[in-house]
Amino acid sequence: MKITDVKPFPVWIGHRNQLVVKVETDEGIFGWGESGLSGRELAVVGAIQHYAEFLRGRDPMQTGALWQEMYRSQYFEGGRVLQAAISAIDIALHDIKGKALGVPVYDLLGGKQRDHIPTFASTSAPEAAGMIEQAQNLKAAGWTAIRFFPDFRDTGGIFEPREHIAKTARACVQAREALGDEVVLGIDWHHRLSVAEAASFCQKMPSGTLDFLEEPIRDETPEAYEALRKLTDVPFAIGEEFASKWQFLPFIERDIHQFNRIDLCNVGGLTEAMKVAGWSEAHYVDLMPHNPLGPICTAATIHMSAAVANFSWLETRVNANDLYGGGQTDDVFTLQPKLQGTVYPVANTPGLGIEIDEKALTREAFKFWEAPHLKRRDGSVTNW
């Protein structure tokens, strides 16, 4: 079996872009993958087109060798654009291999260790009352792991950390009181804070209020996280932006964090993710996968999550139409994972278990989208 083509599909589905990739073979077996790096999809398309030039004619079953060749053969190894491209291709190659062998992808990764995948759900309200109400509704629906994700997009493009950390800390304390001790409660700051701001936020709450603190500061400097680690006892959830095992290395080996927010569509696909998973297991770090994209990302992450021992929760949307909009995802993704209550069942369909109406896919046009460009009141740029 040989690869005949690698086709990127940058499309807008519902309320967001997705970069879907199809790898075709001369035996009629094809695989689907998905790339991350939201907002820079066309840059990834260019990388995929470069890789397609030497992937045509190659054996799709040689996933490990092809990963190494894609990563190492242009001299300038790695980087988020290239790794997002490799991720999509690698996921598609695993889909092909599973279909060719008649087994689900998790069997290629060592077999399943769980029959369903627990999830965590998120709030989106910016203010305390709305956050707590949404969290109570999620608890009533059966979720026992809930993440606060304060939405600052409606603040006129202004975000001042010190104006938010005190009231958000109070909201977390109130939420803990309202939800009880049995609910796992975390918050995602989307790397908007400094070390001092993140420490101040944590110190405004009683110990035990939060079960995890996600991406409080930027990740370029592990030493900054080490400094923050000394200032709070809240477990850290880090890694959704990491594009290789080497970016995870200092965080794992220095025992900086407790949850890996690994993103299959950015880290290098299943090949790289399984290496990070094993490394994490040796250091008692659990996987809490980042899953903000489309059904292909969800399906691939379910297979990985089924096959690893060190797993906590998979990020999910309570209602996929909240993200994709109006049921359009079902028109394109005719077979895809569906929540059963608060868990994803682990199916035994060969490959990823994804089916796509390609004609419907190609009808979806790409749209340029930019993440919110937030600024502080003095006009300086801050993180979204």
When the candidates are 1.20.5.440, 3.40.50.12590, 3.40.50.620, 3.20.20.120, the CATH number that belongs to 107-350 is: 3.20.20.120
Share of the chain above pLDDT 90, in %: 87
Q: How does pLDDT run across 24-44, given as a tens digit for each residue?
A: 999 999 999 999 999 999 999
The residue assigned the tokens 């046009």 is 365
What one-letter code names the amino acid at 239? Answer: G
In contact, 168 and 187? CB cutoff 8 Å: yes
Task: State the average pLDDT over residues 310-337.
Answer: 76
Lowest mean pLDDT among 11-15, 79-83, 104-108, 194-198: 11-15
Task: State the average pLDDT over residues 1-7.
Answer: 98
Report pLDDT for 14: 79
What one-letter code names the amino acid at 57? Answer: G
Q: 323-326: which pairs have CB atoms within 8 A and are 24 or more residues apart? A: 323/14, 323/15, 323/16, 323/292, 324/13, 324/14, 324/15, 324/16, 324/294, 325/13, 325/14, 325/15, 326/14
Report pLDDT for 73: 92
Report pLDDT for 81: 97
Residue 241 pLDDT > 70, yes or no? yes
Instruction: Calculate the alpha carbon distances from 338 to 115, 298, 316, 354 in Å.
Output: 14, 10, 10, 11
Residue 175, C-beta contacts closer than 8 angstroms, at least 6 positions apart: 128, 131, 132, 135, 148, 185
Domain boundaries, the chain: 3-103, 107-350
Lowest mean pLDDT among 92-96, 145-149, 321-325, 363-367: 321-325
Residue 325 pLDDT > 60, yes or no? no
In contact, 26 and 1? CB cutoff 8 Å: yes
Number of helical (H) and strand (E) elements in the chain, helices listed first: 15, 14
What's the pLDDT band for 326 if we cut at 50, 70, 90? very low
What's the pLDDT band for 327 if we cut at 50, 70, 90? very low
Report pLDDT for 20: 98
Q: Cα Rg for the chain, rounded, in angstroms?
A: 20
Task: State the average pLDDT over residues 331-348.
Answer: 95
Q: 127-133: which pairs have CB atoms within 8 A and are 24 or more residues apart? A: 127/171, 128/167, 128/168, 128/170, 128/171, 128/174, 128/175, 131/171, 131/175, 132/171, 132/174, 132/175, 132/178
Compute the mean pLDDT over every residue in the chain, rounded to the nearest whole number. 94
Could you give phi then psi for residue 37, rounded to 5 degrees? 55, 55
Could you give phi then psi for residue 291, rounded to 5 degrees? -150, 70
Write down the CATH superfamily of domain 3-103. Answer: Enolase-like, N-terminal domain (3.30.390.10)
Write out the catalytic residue numbers.
190, 290
Task: State the average pLDDT over residues 232-261.
Answer: 97
Report pLDDT for 127: 82
Q: What's the rounded Cα separation, in Å, for the pair 357 and 342?
A: 27
Q: How many CB atoms lie within 10 A of CB 183?
A: 18
In contact, 192 and 383? CB cutoff 8 Å: yes
In contact, 354 and 293? CB cutoff 8 Å: no
- Encoded tokens for 300: 């691939």
What one-letter code names the amino acid at 125? Answer: A
Beta 236-238 vs 30-35: how paired, if at all? unpaired
Lowest mean pLDDT among 91-100, 137-146, 310-319: 310-319
Residue 377 pLDDT > 50, yes or no? yes
Residue 276, C-beta contacts closer than 8 angstroms, at least 6 positions apart: 245, 248, 252, 260, 262, 267
Report pLDDT for 154: 66
Report pLDDT for 319: 67
What one-letter code names the amino acid at 256? Answer: I
Task: State the average pLDDT over residues 282-296.
Answer: 96
Report pLDDT for 354: 97
What's the pLDDT band for 324 if we cut at 50, 70, 90? very low
Distance of CA 308 to the CA centre of its chain: 16
Q: How does pLDDT run across 209-233, given as a tens digit for each residue?
A: 999 999 999 999 999 999 999 999 9
What's the pLDDT band for 193 if we cut at 50, 70, 90? very high
Report pLDDT for 323: 41
